[in-house]
A = this chain, B = another copy of it.
Amino acid sequence: MRYADAGVRLDLADAVTERITTRLGSALFGGMVPVPRLRDFRDPVLISSMDGIGTKVRLAARLGACGGLGQDIVHHCVNDIAVHGATPLFFLDYLAFHSLMPEIIDEVVEGIAGACEALGIAFAGGETAEMPGVYAHGAFDVAGAIVGVAERDGIVDGSGMQVGDTLLGLPSSGLHTNGYSLVQRVFSDNEYRTYDLLLGAPLGAVLLTPHRCYLPEIRALLDGGAVRGFAHITGGGIAGNLARIVPDGLVADVSLPSPVPPIYRLLHARGVPWDEMHAVFNMGIGLIAVCDPAVGVPDGWIALGSVRRAVHGTRKVMIHDRD
């Protein structure tokens, strides 16, 4: 009885590790990141996040198009800490498979390395695991961890928010990495490759558009004026994510641009009620900033409304859409 009889191929694992290692800054197990920038901080706080990209991996595998998954995981993680005002330092990945698929590993790792390089983040390594019996046949998962740094008094968390602050939004590039289990219940396999008139592209291509990175826009806004807080719109939608940074006694009054992008109208037309749409998807807005009104509406941002005083019993986020 050998390891290979149990579905684990050590020689393949070694070959994969070697290929991945050539993309890393360090050949050691522990990713080492010198942090000269830390010395520029008076009172540094490390800010980190771990995340996955959910069942978007299943759709990508089904369509044989895994090239965007690297950007998905890196950008998702970067956004999650950038909203607190952090500068990302390094990223680690976790890839796990029913059976190692070297081509997919190459594609995902290339994507991760490219996304990290574009953002000036060190790709510090990670783990690739072969776990027959845990993953379904032909399935795999992609997760990542990001670590960044912020000045303690530069952390933004919504705490300075007040009545009259404005809500600014940035468009999402699509569903990003949320709601893909629902999406794959709504659509059937033969629909993904077909050109869709409403979408102006094949459905599969629209759904696999990589998660947008908001780091440059967040840095620019922080440099330019009084920002109270940011919300990265992920699972839970606009209301679920924005509510986390709205202090008690205030309400964020959001008016969504109309109409919402075609993919959301298509999902609704295929039977997902609007309330469920709002609870699951970003509805075309991937990031919301709450700012002093003096910030105005910088290029690329969308005015979404403002903060008002809460009336007893009101939820922290009210969403008005005109669809």
Using a CB–CB distance below 8 Å, which chain A residues touch chain B? 1-3, 5-8, 10, 13, 28-35, 38, 43-52, 54-55, 57-58, 80-81, 83-84, 86, 89-90, 92-94, 96, 124-127, 129-136, 139-141, 143, 145, 147-148, 152, 155, 157, 179, 181-182, 184-186, 232, 235-236, 244, 270-273, 276, 279-280
Residue numbers in B under 8 Å from A46 (CB-CB): 32-35, 89-90, 147
State the oligomeric state as a number of copies: 2
A50 touches B236 (CB 8 A): no
Q: Shortest Cβ distance from A132 into chain B, in angstroms?
A: 6
CB distance from A47 to the nearest CB of B (A): 4
User: How far apart sit A50 and B273, CA to CA, in the bound complex (Å)?
Assistant: 39
Q: Bound state CA distance, A38 and B271, in angstroms?
A: 53
**Does more than half of chain A's interface fall in helix, strand or loop, or is it mixed?**
mixed
Could you jot down 15 A-B contacts, CB within 8 Å? Answer: A1-B185, A1-B276, A6-B181, A13-B235, A31-B49, A35-B44, A38-B44, A48-B92, A50-B145, A52-B131, A58-B134, A133-B136, A135-B136, A135-B139, A147-B147
In the assembled complex, the Cα of A86 lies from the Cα of B47 at a distance in Å of: 19
Of B7, B29, B44, B92, the contact of A145 (CB 8 Å cutoff): B92
CB distance from A16 to the nearest CB of B (A): 12
Q: Are the C-beta atoms of A48 and B30 separated by less than 8 Å?
A: yes
Contact assessment for A30 and B81 in the assembled complex, using a CB-CB cutoff below 8 Å? yes
A3 adjacent to B133 (CB under 8 Å): no
The answer to whether B182 touches A8, judged by C-beta atoms less than 8 angstroms apart, is: yes
Residues of chain B with a CB closer than 8 A to A83's CB: 29-30
Extra A-B contacts (4), CB below 8 Å, given A32-B46, A134-B140 = A2-B273, A32-B155, A33-B47, A34-B152
Quick one: given A38-B38, A86-B30, are A7 and B125 in contact (CB under 8 Å)? Answer: no
| 8 Å CB contact of A143 from B143, B186, B271 | B143
